[in-house]
Structure 1
Amino acid sequence: MNPIGSSLQYWLVNHPSILNFTWIPGQTVGASPLFLSLTLLCYLSLTFLLLLLRLPPLKPHILRSMSVVHNLVLLLLSFAMALGCIFTIVYHTPQLHWIICFPPKTPPSGPLFFWAYVFYLSKVLELVDTLLIIVGNSIRRLTFLHVYHHATVLIMCYLWLQTSQSLFPVALVTNTCVHVLMYGYYLLSALGVRPKWKRLVTDCQIVQLLFSFAVSGVMLYYHFGGSGCSGFSGWCFNAVFNASLLALFVDFHAKSYANRKTREAQKLKGS
């Protein structure tokens, strides 16, 4: 391996803090139902409170600076998580099929679970998205899909770690790759550039969810055809959540782009 690859492998996989990571309920920061419950309660309460108060929007330059920093941090963090999980899969996973089916009673420790933990904490940071929408007076962008996704994905990530859920490495890589694209779009938009690939972000999210169902079929084969896979109860929650997200994303996609086509057709008629 070249020096750059060796350096990345050390900092993304073999660093002692990553290699020796262990999720310990009640001890690791965020590893308790109380932390999860209070975070969700604060998020939902603050969202509804700010909507009721209807505070004056922030000045455009302040909001733009906040959005640039927020989206840049999440873009870089998503890239690091994707790269870290990929390096772990390639250089540390004992057997390749472990990324789909952990053996029963797998302890939540090691590099894969470290990156799942970073992913979990990043979902707390992502809740700021909602605050930026509200203080930017862009209430029309605050949909049920947005709030539901942000709140429920936090529970999903908690269960990944709490149950040592099988299949999360695949979900982590695909999700962070989509988020690199998504936060890249948001960052450029905050900088005043309007990329023409907004629809691509939604399309990729839908493809990601469809792919998760396809890979889940392989996991179920391993689970029921062998000695079982770790964290099956967590996967059940994940599957229901993904199904609900897919339905909401398809509905959002249909309404958003159907309305756009209608507006474009009306413009052509009027010209």
Structure 2
Amino acid sequence: MVLEVVSNIMKFYDYLLRRTDIRVKDYPLMQSPVQMTAILFGYLFLVLYAGPRFMANRKPFQLTSAMIIYNFSMVALNAYIVYEFMMSGWATTYTWRCDLCDYSNSPEALRMVRVAWMFYFSKFIELMDTVFFVLRKKHSQITFLHIFHHSFMPWTWWWGITLAPAGGMGSFHAMVNAAVHVIMYFYYGLSAAGPRFQKFLWWKKYMTAIQLIQFVLVSVHISQYYFMEKCDYQVPLFIHLIWIYGTFFFVLFSNFWIQAYVRGKRLPKHSEKSSINGDATIIPNGKHLENGTMVNGNGIAQNGKVKEV
């Protein structure tokens, strides 16, 4: 029985290697699913076990400069990915309805293959989000939703660009996701930059709303497939998975919205609040700590000096 199971797994593995689109075989992390799966297991081990143990008896790292550079770099990367998706079809030849995978070697198809891989690879860079949380001991931010999203997304996208790298209608959700990440990392970058930018962060609540709009757009767009008289999209399994993905994450983020902003479970309790990726932390005695800066009712202490405000 065990030998039969192993044999079937190996047959499926060989099938995948044969089906891998030749245009992506030479890209990093595309030779087999083993590499990316090992990275993701290492990520889970690091952020759920090794990282917290390493930080248990250490003070949180500030990492202000690193976070500013990281977040604004991610803004630039995701903006470029959106542009490339647009120029690879979505703003040129696509109908925004039943757009098929292009398996040719045309310049536009190869451009779509390249940006699809860039989007996939960006998901591994985004694992740094959680690493920053661990090193800064922001344990409340390492939620099931956060871990699941960061580990599941790159794993599923390997299969997507293995079989359909020039994805047609199956790539819409990636373009929308990259656009949302431009906004998200811009917010994180401002947040990490310090108190002088806090007045520009009044729209934090709407970040979750933007995420919800993303999943609505993705689900509505992909749902067209079920109402068209005919659509010969080459890998219909991905259509079903994208619809499930959009709906599932809409439910998860809706629950977060309800808990945070309707029931108020993530709002300050006795003036105590911690926020995400660089935001301030407010503690009960009225002091305001942010990236090593202490603010109280009398002034701001920076590097040991008090400045009246």
User: For this structure pair, what is the TM-score category when the shorter chain's length is used for normalisation?
Assistant: 0.7 to 0.9
TM-score for the superposition, normalised by structure 2: 0.69
Distance 1:183 1:166 in 2: 27
Distance 2:65 2:269 in 1: 36
State whether structure 2 residue 38 is matched by structure 1 residue 38: yes
State whether structure 2 residue 205 is matched by structure 1 residue 207: no
Output one character per residue of 1:19-51: Cα deviation in whole Å (capped at 9) or x when no partner: xx96334x3211121122112111111112212
C-alpha change, 1:243 and 1:80, in structure 2 (3 Å) is same
State whether structure 2 residue 73 is matched by structure 1 residue 73: yes
Distance 1:78 1:99 in 2: 24
Query: Which residue does 2:226 correspond to in 1?
Result: 220
Match of 1:233 among 230, 237, 246: 237
Deviation of 1:106 (Å): 3.4
Distance 2:207 2:22 in 1: 34
Contact 1:156/1:238 (<8 A) preserved? no
Deviation of 1:256 (Å): 0.8
* 1:186 alignment partner, SS class: helix
**Percent pairwise identity:** 21
Spell out the pairing of 1:249-264 with structure 2 (5 A cutoff).
249-260=253-264
Query: Which structure has the highest helix share of the two?
Result: 1
Tell me, which stretches of 5 or more residues in structure 2 are unaligned?
1-20, 272-309
Higher relative contact order, structure no. (Cα contacts within 8 Å, ≥ 6 residues apart) = 1
What amino acid maps onto 1:97 in structure 2? T
Q: How many residues align?
A: 239
Query: Which residue does 1:179 correspond to in 2?
Result: 181
Query: Which structure has the highest strand share of the two?
Result: 2
Deviation of 1:52 (Å): 3.6
Deviation of 1:128 (Å): 0.5
State whether structure 2 residue 251 is matched by structure 1 residue 247: yes
Deviation of 1:161 (Å): 0.9
C-alpha change, 1:255 and 1:90, in structure 2 (3 Å) is closer
Which deviates the most, 152-161 or 203-212? 152-161
Output one character per residue of 1:199-239: Cα deviation in whole Å (capped at 9) or x when no partner: 211101101101111111223344xx325202222232332
* 1:197 alignment partner, SS class: coil
Query: Which residue does 2:157 correspond to in 1?
Result: 157
Which deviates the most, 45-54 or 145-154? 45-54
Which deviates the most, 168-177 or 255-264? 255-264
Query: Which residue does 2:52 correspond to in 1?
Result: 51
Query: Which residue does 2:103 correspond to in 1?
Result: 106
Contact 2:260/2:266 (<8 A) preserved? no
Distance 2:118 2:255 in 1: 31
Distance 1:266 1:136 in 2: 22
Deviation of 1:173 (Å): 2.2
Output one character per residue of 1:75-116: Cα deviation in whole Å (capped at 9) or x when no partner: 1001111112112226653xx23774315x836951122111
Distance 1:91 1:205 in 2: 22
* 1:97 alignment partner, SS class: coil
Distance 1:116 1:262 in 2: 35
Query: Which residue does 2:290 correspond to in 1?
Result: none
Distance 1:180 1:86 in 2: 15
Distance 1:86 1:166 in 2: 12
Query: Which residue does 2:299 correspond to in 1?
Result: none
Query: Which residue does 1:14 correspond to in 2?
Result: none
What amino acid maps onto 1:102 in structure 2? L
What amino acid maps onto 2:256 in structure 1? F
Tell me, which stretches of 5 or more residues in structure 1 are unaligned?
1-20
Which deviates the most, 204-213 or 164-173? 164-173
Distance 1:265 1:54 in 2: 25
* 1:110 alignment partner, SS class: helix
Query: Which residue does 2:284 correspond to in 1?
Result: none
What amino acid maps onto 1:235 in structure 2? I
Which deviates the most, 258-267 or 200-209? 258-267
Distance 1:64 1:264 in 2: 24
Larger Rg, first or second structure (1 or 2): 2
Contact 2:123/2:153 (<8 A) preserved? yes
Distance 1:107 1:156 in 2: 23
Distance 2:137 2:117 in 1: 33
